[in-house]
Amino acid sequence: MSDKVPRDPADDYTREMAQKRRDFVREHTGVALAHVGRYTFDPALLPGNIENFIGAAQVPIGLAGPLHIRGEHAQGEFYVPMATTEGTLVASYNRGMRLLNECGGVRTTIVEQYMQRSPAFLFDDALAAREFGQWVQQNLDQIRAAAEATTHVGHLVHIYQYAIGPLRHLRFNYTTGDAAGQNMTGKATLAACEWIAAHYPGPTKFLLSGNMDTDKKHSQLNMLVTRGRRVVAEAVIRREPLKRIMGVDTAELFAMRQVSNTGAFLAGSSNNGSHAANGLTALFIACGQDVANVAESHAGVVYSQLLPDGDYYWSITLPSLIVGTYGGGTALATQRECLEMLGCHGAGKADKFAEICAGVVLAGETSLSAAVIHGDWVASHDQLGRNRK
Amino acid sequence: MSDKVPRDPADDYTREMAQKRRDFVREHTGVALAHVGRYTFDPALLPGNIENFIGAAQVPIGLAGPLHIRGEHAQGEFYVPMATTEGTLVASYNRGMRLLNECGGVRTTIVEQYMQRSPAFLFDDALAAREFGQWVQQNLDQIRAAAEATTHVGHLVHIYQYAIGPLRHLRFNYTTGDAAGQNMTGKATLAACEWIAAHYPGPTKFLLSGNMDTDKKHSQLNMLVTRGRRVVAEAVIRREPLKRIMGVDTAELFAMRQVSNTGAFLAGSSNNGSHAANGLTALFIACGQDVANVAESHAGVVYSQLLPDGDYYWSITLPSLIVGTYGGGTALATQRECLEMLGCHGAGKADKFAEICAGVVLAGETSLSAAVIHGDWVASHDQLGRNRK
Amino acid sequence: MSDKVPRDPADDYTREMAQKRRDFVREHTGVALAHVGRYTFDPALLPGNIENFIGAAQVPIGLAGPLHIRGEHAQGEFYVPMATTEGTLVASYNRGMRLLNECGGVRTTIVEQYMQRSPAFLFDDALAAREFGQWVQQNLDQIRAAAEATTHVGHLVHIYQYAIGPLRHLRFNYTTGDAAGQNMTGKATLAACEWIAAHYPGPTKFLLSGNMDTDKKHSQLNMLVTRGRRVVAEAVIRREPLKRIMGVDTAELFAMRQVSNTGAFLAGSSNNGSHAANGLTALFIACGQDVANVAESHAGVVYSQLLPDGDYYWSITLPSLIVGTYGGGTALATQRECLEMLGCHGAGKADKFAEICAGVVLAGETSLSAAVIHGDWVASHDQLGRNRK
Amino acid sequence: MSDKVPRDPADDYTREMAQKRRDFVREHTGVALAHVGRYTFDPALLPGNIENFIGAAQVPIGLAGPLHIRGEHAQGEFYVPMATTEGTLVASYNRGMRLLNECGGVRTTIVEQYMQRSPAFLFDDALAAREFGQWVQQNLDQIRAAAEATTHVGHLVHIYQYAIGPLRHLRFNYTTGDAAGQNMTGKATLAACEWIAAHYPGPTKFLLSGNMDTDKKHSQLNMLVTRGRRVVAEAVIRREPLKRIMGVDTAELFAMRQVSNTGAFLAGSSNNGSHAANGLTALFIACGQDVANVAESHAGVVYSQLLPDGDYYWSITLPSLIVGTYGGGTALATQRECLEMLGCHGAGKADKFAEICAGVVLAGETSLSAAVIHGDWVASHDQLGRNRK
């Protein structure tokens, strides 16, 4: 019995090949994969999305909403598909949406957009690296042309440079339209680096990544200069509905904010808010995003003020929200349906989807923060969650 | 037409109610959710996992492996289900597994395990907070008893204390067996706080979270003192198979490591490796994990040395890998099958699953690092990925 | 003409040798060092403080105060010597002290004290490292005995362990009485490591520092678990004197605090306050501290709340304040006088001095924060500082 | 007896007034300040450097060197004045200089220079803040003109923008010639903000600092985008002299580097090197720098490679080295002499001084790293330091 996973070089994306591989799994592990094999889409859709396809994970989707969003791209009431296996998550976000709706909805604003690749160029000494850096700055137009020749959509906005010893980390910042853009920018940056290597009047050696992308990783750098989209969700929470729906006062929320800030600052945390990762992950799975980008996307900065009338201004900024509505997993069956529910499938929709993500995150922040103060956090998990003793 | 999502308080977890809600979605958004509605499991399984259930996201699963693991809990050859929509991911991890296999497999070791809740206690001044801290230390046995009365599995190991002004952040560290344990520890910590509030000879006020958990968030604190499991994967990469399979030399990998370290350090990154988040997310989705924990779990520290004979010792330490094989989404249909494929479903299996996760991550590190050096990184995405221009 | 600095192996700490070296400097650089040579103390005091002594830097000292401190160790009115060359610094701290005095003085509390050394032990794999870690825990009493045999004052409280791959970073935490303790703990830790190497039933290899001390460096780790002393300064700022003395309102300060928190969090800053380094450096130079420890000591966490009556609770926590009143430079001529001014020279005084440092820092925070709001920040530097155009 | 420090509004910078204040100290504390009063410079020099002058701290200076520097601005052999009270410091740096000299000297390169002020502008919502940001970009020339009207030397290079909710943190980046430039840039930025407030077609409110400067504080931001000067010191350490002078092998240094990198990364440290703060502080005190800037200046990134021939390329990059040779304390008596020793007093010398600082730092890195490996670290402190037991 070979241990080699069966593949068909001629056409590997068929129900038959998937079945063969599930059979292979059964032979090697004794597990039948009955449910995994009962997917409903055509495997011919899958090239570019997966290799060695065997079936599909079915992740339950709950419906939250409506959420009233007053963005530039997302406007109106949205019903939000959230794919998760964590009890209370949908209910909690739902509660937050109700509060936001009663306060006039959530405003959302996209501040900027960049996707990065960061090659590192290596030289003999720091002086050579510095001179190279100046040359790059002087030849930016041609480097841009080389990069943009590989893409219809991507635009190279600027190259940040970070010098360490004889190294020059270059961080290429692109706008990438409605694609998340990691591959697009990888290809463009490679072309740019090859152009540089061919034209720089001196020896060059480069790595396509010097680990400053920082792809699939949280970093302070991402927070500072934006990876993906920098999106703000903000609302003025009125005292009355907050008290009625969640049982707490705005002054309590603001006092708690001071405590939370110390905790996040001292811990060296990626987010001084509560749980952006929860809402984003549920949206990402449902809507065909690259879920690994939760690593970057969950970062956030909460800024709030208690207003003189006792209402509570609350904002969360997601500095590195990475989403796409085109390419990647967005054309797959359930993923496409979920994007369509939000009016977010295809070209021209990524900004809208990003705003929805941010609005959902703020809803979740209100609900969990209030639950922590009110003391019903654990109780609700007891009631709705799989609390294992 | 009401905008309120239909629910049945008597029994909301039925195919009928899911259908009603999909109908509701169609009425409000015009989208039919045909694929979302074609799930294959019994909704009666879902209480504790989701609210307002409407169907399931189908995320394609690819098969990687075998991966030869030489752990304490995971031993032998493993075929790994990876749920993703990102082309090349499965192929890349697969290639890394082949390399590791040829080098004798990957060793995996779980170093420690903790799950946390971090209430903050508030006092009038720093002196009162410090005295409270001492009292907590002195009454640890009783506090532990109060916490553990709520759980059969959770064990309160120690309480770390972090003082800021008049605040005392307490960080309860539990072992939680085969559950990830966030809810278990939330409940236990609430009981502990209530015991404290009832018995402390002075006024107390607390928040069940002061944001130092740091739940669903990367933090330096998690990296330092472990959230979930701290797992190491390590291997000695031999020159010959590395060159043959990936076309690069061990000395090149080690030279690149020096560059990558500067990039990660300068960027303030959560991981000085390449893309742990990719492998973990694919495993988490397939295997019913709380995928939002990718926020914490993707952190890592690579440590390597070039050996005198030219072989390359390579380790990655995942300091905050959060997994469970019991509770949460692990009992759902496809999720359970995927865990079973790995021999990791149910009680007594979380350590094994954690080791597999770490082994898979190291495989991915080898493959991507070599691709960056060899220059086939972009080419493989062009061939296997959805490169949008 | 030799380029070798003259030294006298028999007795190098004399006025004559200092003069010889100044002559040597004049010969080699043409600079006479007239003022450097006019120190007033006996060089025979200097062994243990400096090598190749040539004279002294004269750093101007300004007098601030009185500052009313209500600490556990520092109680009453203090006149504070601040050595600096930065105009407005003394005036600004002085203004803050006046405000604090009018608000009843500053409360100060020392929360804990530790000094660290962090050897790293290296093993073949992670399993061996983990077993070593357990052995260390089991043999803590004997390790402590070996460490404490080298010191009368130092006490080894606990050893934190941080595992990375096949490495085990141990972080020895000592109390060190009235000495800052870096050397004391270095010596004790070396003895402990040698004991470990001699007794561990397996091969061991160690580095006396694996860079987790983190000596002479800011780190998140220092902030979390205290390096030196963790000291809190706190005060309730009353509206009236704040307005009268500094022209701003408590509500403005609190609103600004929300902004400052975002700036510090986003920048990845060591301190969310304003300029602790200024006051500490001036005190450290005047009082014979190891001024390089400003690197660690300047870290801080501000926590504040606006009280219902409009007064403003303000605290700053210095989590890694490193001071000593015995050893190091504390016995030198001007240094001793300045410590004596504060009643802080010699054994039994380090806690008192640490409290004074923290109180001074809070004074400076109030003054600069108000100046930023009020707009007189730049004007005061124009008037009092060396504003170079 | 009044508790008010005596001041003479007409002329406070006289020996008489200093004496009056020392008398005041004696009356209030019983301490005579005999040595503090024996300074040798004319107090009339001091306006702009200090208030309430009472005398001077005498900090011992040791002579290290020569150090052979091969920089762009610093070239040749330098004798280095180091003001410290920490035994072994001068000797250790001296040993490192000897090693560097035998390896052909240390190369130094200044990569870039910026000094910052970071006002925060506050708006009603994120959209207004974003529009403001665009307006700033569009009106950069006029903003620059307003800023530069206040200074002969300062040049506003660019304004970085960081958006959080309704806030816009602007970070003004200036070159400041031979002054450190904090005051110069404060004044220029205030003028710029006032120009903005007068001309922006909408309501504006600003704080002159939103805490992203990040003045007198370490931050990841400083490391990334340079505060002060970004300076590299590099050398190729040859095996033979390293072994002869320090008793260790280059391969040992490189193996240790891998360990040190994990320690620094895991600890969240400001520097993956050893003790840059030591050398910098000693130079800063001697040479009239603003010593509080050690908070920022001590950050560093070590990058090294073991060369095929066994020699060791070693670099340290100081990303936020803040120095000046004009203004501040540089004109005072001993400070000026020490700068003159280095040929660094006055206009046109700051680059040279920065290169010397970096070269000295690398010398210290070699010496301490070798001592940690060789095991003579503690022994040397026992012999040369004030090891208190």
Q: Over the stretch C258-271, which tens digit does the pLDDT of each residue have?
A: 999 999 999 999 99
User: What's the rounded Cα separation, in Å, for the pair D102 and C21?
Assistant: 23
Average pLDDT over residues B143-165: 97
Residue B294 contacts residue B309 (beta carbons within 8 Å): no
Residue A376 is predicted with a pLDDT of 66
Tell me, what amino acid is at B320? S
Among residues of chain C, what percentage have pLDDT more than 90? 93
How far is residue B68's CA from residue B89's CA, in Å, rounded to a whole number?
19
The stretch A153-161 carries a mean pLDDT of 96
Single out the residue of C285, C288, C361, C348 nearest to residue C321, CA to CA. Answer: C361
Q: Which chain B residues touch A57 with a CB distance below 8 Å?
A: 57-59, 61, 81, 83, 285-286, 334-335, 338
Q: Could you tell me if A149 lies within 8 Å of chain C, comparing CB atoms?
A: no
Q: What is the pLDDT of residues A299-351, one digit of tens each?
A: 999 999 999 999 999 999 999 999 999 999 999 999 999 999 999 999 999 99
Query: In the predicted model, is pLDDT for residue A387 greater than 60?
Result: no
| Averaged confidence pLDDT in chain A | 95
**Residue A334 distance to chain B (closest CA, Å):** 5
Task: Please report residues of A whose CB lies closer than 8 A to that of C312.
Answer: none
Q: How many residues does chain B have?
A: 389
Of B36, B285, B343, the CB nearest to A291: B285
Cβ atoms of residues D74 and D106 within 8 Å: no
Spatial distance between the Cα atoms of B303 and A288, rounded to a whole number of angstroms: 34
pLDDT for residue D388 is more than 60: no
Among A176-180, A259-263, B231-235, C293-297, which is the least confidently predicted range? A176-180
Give phi and psi for C24, each to the nearest 5: -60, -45
CB contact under 8 A, C266 and A224: yes
DSSP states of B139-181 as a string? THHHHHHHHHTT-SS-EEEEEEEEEETTEEEEEEEEE-TTS--
Mean pLDDT of B17-38: 98
- Find the residue in B nearest to A39 (Cα): B58
For the annotated catalytic residues of B, the residue numbers are 86, 290, 381
A272 touches chain C (CB under 8 A): yes
Do residues B68 and B100 touch, judged by C-beta distance below 8 A?
yes
- Contact of A354 with chain D, judged by CB distance below 8 Å, is answered with no
pLDDT of the residue at C389: 55
CA D127, CA A73: separation in Å to the nearest integer? 13
pLDDT band at B142 (very low <50, low <70, confident <90, very high): very high
Amino acid in the structure at residue B178: D
Q: How far apart are CA A5 and CA A26, in angstroms?
A: 12
Q: Is a pLDDT exceeding 70 seen at residue B341? A: yes
Flag whether pLDDT at D389 surpasses 60. no
> Which residue does chain B place closest to D268, by CA atoms?
B220
CA distance B321 to chain A (A): 13
Three-state SS for D10-69 is CCCCCHHHHHHHHHHHHHHHCCCCCCCCCCCCCHHHCCCCCCCEEEEEEEEEEEEEEEEE
Q: Which residues of C touch B107 (CB under 8 A)?
A: 125-127
Mutate to test the interface with A, among B19, B116, B341 (most CBs of A within 10 A): B341
Band (D375; pLDDT cuts 50, 70, 90):
confident
Partner-chain contact C57 D285, CB within 8 Å: yes
Q: Indicate which of D69, D72, D103, D109 best probes the interface with A, i.e. most A CBs within 10 Å of its own CB.
A: D109
Instruction: State the Cα–Cα distance between residues D130 and D119, nearest whole angstrom.
Output: 15
Residue C179: pLDDT above 80? yes
Return the higher-pLDDT residue of D82 and B382. D82
For residue C378, pLDDT beyond 80: no
The catalytic position among C23, C290, C337, C376 is: C290
What's the Cα-to-Cα distance from D384 to each of C47, C49, D375, D378, D379, rounded to whole Å? 7, 8, 15, 10, 9
Query: What is the model's pLDDT at position D280?
Result: 98
Interval D41-69: pLDDT, tens: 999 999 999 999 999 999 999 999 999 99
Q: Which of A259, A265, A267 sits opposite C264 (nearest CB)?
A: A265
Q: Tell me the average pLDDT across B76-97.
A: 97
As beta bridge partners, residue B117 has B172
CA distance B323 to B44: 24
The whole-number pLDDT of residue C222 equals 97
How deeply is A201 buried, as exposed, middle or buried, from its count of CB atoms within 10 A (0-12, 13-18, 19+)?
A: exposed
Output phi, psi for C236, to 5 deg.
Answer: -100, 110
pTM: predicted TM-score of the whole model, two decimal places:
0.97
**How many other C-beta atoms can be found within 10 angstroms of the C-beta atom of residue D379?**
13
Mean per-residue pLDDT of chain D: 95
CA distance B123 to B27: 53
Does any CB of chain A come closer than 8 Å to the CB of residue C79? no
Taking the CB of residue A348, how many other CB atoms lie within 10 A of it?
A: 12
Active site residue A311: no
Contact present, B313 and B242 (Cβ < 8 Å): no
What is the average pLDDT score of chain C?
95
B232 neighbourhood in chain C, CB within 8 Å: 126, 163-166
E strands along chain D, which residues?
53-71, 75-83, 106-117, 120-122, 155-164, 167-175, 205-207, 228-237, 301-306, 312-321
Residue B2: per-residue pLDDT: 82
Minimal CA–CA distance to B270: which of B280, B284, B283, B256? B280
Q: Which B residues in the span 240-259 are in contact with D, Cβ-Cβ below 8 Å? A: 255, 258-259
Distance (Å, rounded) from C-alpha B77 to C-alpha B70? 9
Q: pLDDT digit string (tens) for D175-204?
A: 999 989 988 999 999 999 999 999 999 999
Concerning whether C381 is annotated as a catalytic residue, the answer is yes
Nearest-angstrom CA–CA distance, A81 and A68: 15
Res C381: pLDDT = 64
Residues A276 and A367: beta-carbon distance below 8 Å: no
| Predicted local confidence at residue C2, as pLDDT | 82
Q: Is A381 within 8 Å of chain B by CB?
A: yes
pLDDT at A378 over 80: no
Decide if C169 touches D, using CB distance below 8 A: yes
Taking CA–CA distances from D302, the nearest residue in chain B reads B262
Contacts of D303 in chain B (CB under 8 A): 258-259, 261-262
Closest CA–CA distance from residue C250 to any residue of chain A (Å): 14
Confidence of residue A2 (pLDDT cuts 50, 70, 90): confident
* CA C140 to mean position of chain CA atoms: 29
pLDDT value of residue A384: 66
Contacts with C348 from chain D: Cβ below 8 Å: none
Average pLDDT over residues A198-220: 95
Between strands A106-117 and A228-237, the pairing is antiparallel
Buried b (16+ CB within 10 A) or exposed e, C10-19: eebbbeebbe
The residue annotated as part of the active site, out of D215, D290, D311, D365, is D290
For the packed helices B350-374 and B239-246, what is the interaxial angle rounded to 10 degrees?
Answer: 70
Place of tokens 């949206």: A283
Instruction: Identify the pLDDT of residue A70.
Output: 98
Is the interface score ipTM higher than 0.95?
yes
**What pLDDT does A336 receive?**
98
State the pLDDT at residue A377: 63
> For residue C269, what is the DSSP state?
B
Number of A to B CB contacts under 8 A, please give it. Answer: 519
Record: contact D270-C33, CB cut-off 8 A: no
Q: Report whether pLDDT(A1) > 90.
A: no
Number of CB pairs < 8 Å for B and D?
40
* Phi, psi torsion values for D340, nearest 5 degrees: -65, -40
Would an 8 Å CB–CB cutoff place A350 in contact with chain B? no
* Residue D2: pLDDT band with limits 50, 70, 90: confident
Q: Quick check: C303 and A258 CB within 8 A?
A: yes
**Would you call C267 an interface residue with chain A, using a CB distance cutoff of 8 Å?**
yes
Percent of chain B with pLDDT over 90: 93
C244: left (phi over 0), alpha (psi -120 to 50) or beta: alpha
pLDDT of the residue at D349: 97
Instruction: Answer yes or no: do B183 and A262 touch at CB < 8 A.
Output: no
Identify any residues that bridge with D59 across adjacent strands, giving them in sequence order: C57
The answer to whether D163 contacts A317, with C-beta atoms less than 8 Å apart, is: yes
